[in-house]
Every structure is written in C-alpha cells, then in structure tokens.
Amino acid sequence: MKAVLPFVATLLAASVAHAQAVTEIVSPAADRVATAVTVYNDNLALVKERRKVTLPGGPVRLSLRDVSAQMKPETALLSAVNGKPISLIEQNFDFDLLTPQKLLDKYVGREVTVIRGNPATGAETREKATVLAASQGTVLRFADRIETGVPGRLAFDSVPGTLRDRPTLSVLLDATAANAQTLELSYLTGGLAWKADYVANLGDGGKTLDLNGWVTLTNSSGAAYESATLQLVAGTLNRAQPERREFLAKGAMVAMAADAAPREEALMDYHLYTFDRPTTLAENQTKQLALLSATSVPAEREYLLAGNDYYYMGRFDTLGEKLKPAVFVIFQNKGGQLGKPLPAGVMRVYARDSQGAAQFVGEDNIAHTAKNETVRLRLGEAFDITADRKQTNYRRLSDRSNENSYSIVIRNAKAEPVTVKVQEPMPGDWEITQQSQKHVKESAHVALWNITVPAEGSAILEYTARVKW
C-alpha cells in the first residue's frame, strides 16, 4: 500500500503539469467566416458557424467565445472542415458570466485588498482582508477584527478561470500538426423563437382582402449572429422531455418587396422557409422579416348564431335575448398569390372607413394551415344583428327521450340583407319533425339553418326536435 501512494502522487503531479502546459487559444466572434441559424417554433434553434483559427500541434485548449448563453452543450459538435483532423478530448461550457457579485462569490475564503480614501486629504490606504461570506451581504476578516459590508473598494488579484465575460465553449483538443484550420461548430440552443404575424386589409365591402405576412423573430439567447443565413421551420417537433427532479429548498399595411419573401419547401412533415438575404440577429432584439404578400384575395363574411346541446335535455323558458352572432371572415388558401403553407400566428384584420383610413376590426389565431385549406377568422360579435331564442313547447316522451319546440327571432338593423347561420348542437339520436325553414345536417350532432334576414327587418325560425339519448 505504501508503494502505491508515491505512484499515485507522481501521476497526479504529472496530470497537473500536463494541464498547466496546455496553451489556450481564444477565438472571438471576429473569427467567424460563416453563420447559419435554423429557428423552430418552440424556442429552439440550430446554430452552425465556421471559424478560422490557427492551432499549434499537440494538445491545446480552444475557447470559442460569443456562443449562445442558452446553448445545450450536450448537442455541441466541433469538426475540421478542410484542414488536418483533430481529436476532441473534453469540452466545457462556461456560462458563469463575470459580474462584481460573481467575482466576490468566487473569492469567499480568499484574500482581497480593501482600498479606502480619506475624504479630507484624498490619500488612500490599503489593507488585506479575507472574504468570509458574500451571499447575503459581505463579511470581511481583517488582521484584528471582522467587518460587515464593503468599507471602500475591493481589489482582486485575478479573475477565476471559470468566470467569463462572454459565454464560452472551451474545448480541449489534440491537433496533429500546427496549421490554420477552418472549424465548424454546431449546437442546439434556446432563446431563439419565431412566430408569424399577418395583417389583412378588407376591401370591396369585405368581399376581398389584401394580406401581408411577417416573421417576428426574437433573440434572447445571449449572443449575436452577424450576417447569418436564416431558415425557419414551421411545424410541431416532438422533443424528449428531461427527467423531472424534485428539489427542496400596426396601422396600415406596408408594401412588401416581391423578392423579400423566403423560399418554402417541404422538410419531412414540416415546412422550411429559407431567406436568400443574410440577416443579423442582434442580442436581445426582436425583428420582423417579410413572409408573404397577396392582394385581392376573395373573402366572405359569416354571421354565426350557435346554440347549446343542453337546450334539448329539459324544460326551459327564454334561452336568451339580444343574442349577438359571432362575425367571421373566411378565405381560401389557394390560387393566385396564396396556395402556400401558412405558419401558425395571429392575423389582424383592418377595414377602411368612409375617409379611407384603415381601422382595426379584430384578430384571431390561425393554426398551421396547409395550401387549399380554409382560413376562418373570428373577429368579434355583430352590433346590428340580434336574436331572441325561446322554447315554445316541451313534451316528455319517455325516460330517455323528449320533444322540444323553439322559436328564434333574428333582427337586422343594417341597410343591407344578411344571412345568419344558426348552428344547433343536438345530443344523442335526433330528428327535426317540423321546421319553418329547411335545415342541413352538418354533422352527426349538428343541425344548421341559413336564415336570410332582410335589411332593417327580421326573420323567424321555428322548429321541433325529437331527441333520444
């Protein structure tokens, strides 16, 4: 056992000497020669960058500065592009950034120099002290006393190697020979996200719309990406969830350049948007990029008065007075300048008043929408259209069936006729035995009537439904 101890001591000494002998090469952001960023919908991005560095032969520690502060270090991959091969030994992601408090924390148990100035003479005195605590206030031990707080300025001998002024990926590698290398670094990171924002301007009394789409891109990753090739992926990716551990303790639309929109292509079961022009993603910045533009898209307005299935389960009296139909704008994502995948986002709708000024009239979220699908935007509730709904008759047929009669009076204060869709969810097995206007069986549990209401007039829908559950 005694013979083993000297051997272990010798091995540890050799390891320390080897670690101290390894030189460090610092690669700043200026070494980048190309950057590409692919951003996904759910706060995830793939960063690929190439840097030109000169490496000595043998072991070297390469510190790649200005990487993302939210890098997922387990995904980092460094490789040589066109130089001599390199062997990776270890890598460390240093994201503990230098601040006065972090520096003080690292010096707990170590000596600092306390510098005090005399207000009368301006002369400075220096005194050594040991930092005893720094988490909830500073505690210093001098040669003859202990003081709390900082009674002046503190001077530190050096900055601990684990503290960096910028997020840094430190890689220990072995180069076969000394030469200039182009290295490619790729990694996944959080802090980069994008969403689509749309502006629709209604025209021709709501029969057409002009549509502009924008990409709203936010960079809070803790790094900047200069002149990056930008790609966006639309779709929902499955991501492995980390093991859970319990711990104690706009106004008017702006014309869009025709060549500004990105190229779109299918990528597996997602859609990839590639911007031809490089863009700079500054740190802590939100920017917008043109996504699409379309003019004179055919559109229609829809008024929908929807009921509830509980109406048909018992005896009621009045089921609502001055009910407001929901207002929708509907258009088809096909033909002309559309007919392309629309990423999920918010679509804001404007209409022009009598003076030609664009006024905001509502907004709605759209899901990822494939080409040739219908886009339905709920803008709000109609002001000039109201409805009164009441049950006019109820008859119990058995323990599990009944017959109900209803009357819906729809009033229209507009100067033009409108069509109101009356949508009634029906429980169980149902049939309409009597009706003043013909219905459509929209689905297994929905009856639909299209009621035309004259200008400044009213219309009545009466029907009897027999349900069994």
Of 69, 66, 62, 79, the closest CA to residue 45 belongs to 69
Helix (H, G, I), strand (E, B) or coil at 66: coil
Tokens standing for 70? 């939210």
Q: Are 371 and 333 in contact (CB under 8 A)?
A: yes
Beta pairing class for 457-468 and 401-412: antiparallel
CA 173 – CA 180 distance, rounded (Å): 15
- β-partners of residue 446 are 425, 443
CA 272 – CA 28 distance, rounded (Å): 31
Handedness of CA 141, 146, 149, 151 (dihedral sign): negative
CA 451 – CA 459 distance, rounded (Å): 7
CA 40 – CA 43 distance, rounded (Å): 7
Minimum mean pLDDT among 111-120, 196-205, 249-258, 345-354: which range? 249-258
Q: Are 23 and 56 in contact (CB under 8 A)?
A: yes
Kindly state the DSSP code that residue 56 receives in the 8-state scheme.
-
Q: Give the chain's radius of gyration (CA, Å).
A: 35
Residue 252, pLDDT score = 35
Helix (H, G, I), strand (E, B) or coil at 172: strand
CA 461 – CA 388 distance, rounded (Å): 10
Q: Where are the alpha helices (DSSP H) in 69-185?
A: 100-106
| 129 against 12, higher pLDDT | 129
Q: Are 418 and 345 in contact (CB under 8 A)?
A: no
Residue 202's Cβ-side half-sphere holds a number of Cα atoms within 13 Å equal to: 24
CA 378 – CA 363 distance, rounded (Å): 7
Cα 181 from chain centre: 36
pLDDT, tens digit, 9 for 90 and up, residues 51-93? 999 888 788 888 888 899 898 988 898 888 876 777 888 877 7
CA 338 – CA 53 distance, rounded (Å): 46
pLDDT, tens digit, 9 for 90 and up, residues 108-151? 999 999 998 888 888 889 999 999 999 888 999 999 999 998 87
CA 466 – CA 446 distance, rounded (Å): 14
CA 22 – CA 28 distance, rounded (Å): 19
Tokens standing for 366? 């759209």
CA 113 – CA 157 distance, rounded (Å): 8
Residue 307, pLDDT score = 93
Average confidence score pLDDT of the chain: 85
CA 322 – CA 325 distance, rounded (Å): 10
Say yes or no to pLDDT of 18 above 50: no
Residue 424, pLDDT score = 95
What size, in residues, is the chain?
469
CA 35 – CA 43 distance, rounded (Å): 19
Beta pairing class for 44-55 and 192-203: unpaired
The pTM score is 0.69
Say yes or no to pLDDT of 238 above 90: no
**What whole-number percentage of the chain has pLDDT above 90?**
50
Tokens standing for 248? 């104690």
Say yes or no to pLDDT of 24 above 90: no
Q: Where are the alpha helices (DSSP H) in 328-415?
A: none
Q: What are the start-end ranges of the E strands in 371-425?
A: 374-381, 385-398, 401-412, 418-425
Tokens standing for 118? 């005399």
Please, which pLDDT band fits residue 239 given cuts at 50, 70 and 90? low
Tokens standing for 99? 């601040």
Cα 19 from chain centre: 42
Say yes or no to pLDDT of 167 above 80: no
Residue 97, pLDDT score = 65
Tokens standing for 408? 């819906």
Q: Are 349 and 329 in contact (CB under 8 A)?
A: yes
Beta pairing class for 168-175 and 146-148: unpaired
Continuous segment of H or E residues that includes residue 266: strand 263-267
pLDDT, tens digit, 9 for 90 and up, residues 241-270? 554 433 333 333 334 444 567 887 877 777
Of 60, 34, 31, the closest CA to residue 171 belongs to 60
Of 189, 248, 267, 269, the closest CA to residue 221 belongs to 189
Map out the domains of the chain with their CATH numbers.
21-37+48-97+164-189 (2.60.120), 100-155 (2.30.30), 192-233+252-300+330-378 (no CATH), 384-468 (2.60.40.290)
